[in-house]
Amino acid sequence: MTTNRKPEDKYYLRPEQSLVLVVDIQEKLFPAVANPYRVLRQTNLLLHAARTFQLPVVVTEQNPAGLGPTLDTVDLKGLNMVKLDKMTFSAVTPKLLEVLRSYGKKQIIVAGIETHVCVLQTVRDLQREGYQCYLVADAVDSRTELNYRCALELMREMGAVITSAEIITFDLLQTAEIPEFKVMLRRIK
């Protein structure tokens, strides 16, 4: 992919270039991670930001027949959303690539579980495909701290920006002078 971007441009999140990807927050996977309610709370903050800024959202489900659907406490109401089933650990399938191309977004904000399996493989493949991933460290998790930490470090080495849900929110806002600021501030506090 040829681009005129400077390397530091990856640290500037732009709403018009952003999409939220929620990976496999499902009934049987959710209770297995170390901090499930942190993942849920911070993912819902991201989804509130997506709703506020009208960002598209893609939700994946790994083997939903075996692992169940996305938790109903993941707040998907009122979103411009596509849901995709998958059997591969990476969510990067021909269908996902088709969806991403249709939206024309290059900055992918990633949340989900597990950090060291489906999230890591998805981020690796997205980076290889020329997308810039923003891995939301407080909206992902693994069963063990070691797997979580190793996966974060690997994704950083791959070029992903390691960030948090609140950092993402304020990057999308960029100023307190817009009506969305008060809406998001109520959600953060």
* Residues sharing a CB contact under 8 Å with residue 50, sequence separation 6 or more, in sequence order: 20, 56, 57, 79
What residues form DSSP beta bridges with 112? Answer: 23, 140
106, 118, 125, 133: the catalytic one is: 118
CA dist., res. 112 & res. 139, Å (int): 6
Q: Is 24 a catalytic residue?
A: yes
Beta strand spans in the chain (E): 18-23, 56-62, 80-86, 107-113, 132-141, 161-163
Q: With CA atoms as reference, report the closest residue to 32 among 92, 90, 116.
A: 116
> Is 72 an active-site residue?
no
d(CA 114, CA 140): 7
Given the residues 9, 10, 77, 86, the one annotated as active site: 86
Active site residue 125: no
Close Cβ partners of 187 (under 8 Å, ≥ 6 residues apart): 45, 48, 169
Q: Which of 24, 125, 141, 171 is catalytic?
A: 24
Asked if the bond preceding 98 is cis, omega within 30° of 0, the reply is no
Q: Which residues are catalytic?
A: 24, 86, 118
